[in-house]
Amino acid sequence: DAGVTQSPTHLIKTRGQQVTLRCSPKSGHDTVSWYQQALGQGPQFIFQYYEEEERQRGNFPDRFSGHQFPNYSSELNVNALLLGDSALYLCASSFGRSEAFFGQGTRLTVV
């Protein structure tokens, strides 16, 4: 049984560019959440998708947007990249209120 998979694993982008990160949830899970983890910090909640809609959002600007597809996979888009967007981006999937399972993350570096 495949767990949560994320792609790509590493990414380098230039300031001002746009980036798309992808996530496939664990089999049987219908909910996807995205987190940003800066170096030496705990993950920060960006948003959660359920039934193809954003169900809850954390304290992140509109430059961060997402999408969930009918097969429950999800994308995180970040526009107008800033140096401060450099972080590990983690995707988590769950079913209902069950515990969340995380992927290995995408390491984004903005130069």
Interface ranges with another protein (CB under 8 A): 31, 33, 35, 40-45, 48, 55-56, 58, 88, 90, 92, 97, 99-105, 107
Q: CB neighbours (10 Å) of residue 55? A: 13
**Distance between CA 38 and CA 82 in Å, rounded?**
13
CB closer to another protein out of 16 and 28: 28
**Considering the complex, what minimum distance in angstroms separates the CB of residue 16 from another protein?**
26
Q: CB neighbours (10 Å) of residue 31? A: 21
Handedness of CA 50, 94, 75, 56 (dihedral sign): positive
CB closer to another protein out of 31 and 78: 31
- Residue 105 tokens read as 């993350």
**Considering the complex, what minimum distance in angstroms separates the CB of residue 88 from another protein?**
6
CB closer to another protein out of 62 and 99: 99
- Residue 81 tokens read as 């990249």
**Considering the complex, what minimum distance in angstroms separates the CB of residue 47 from another protein?**
9
Let me know: does 66 contact 77? Beta carbons within 8 Å: yes
CB closer to another protein out of 78 and 103: 103
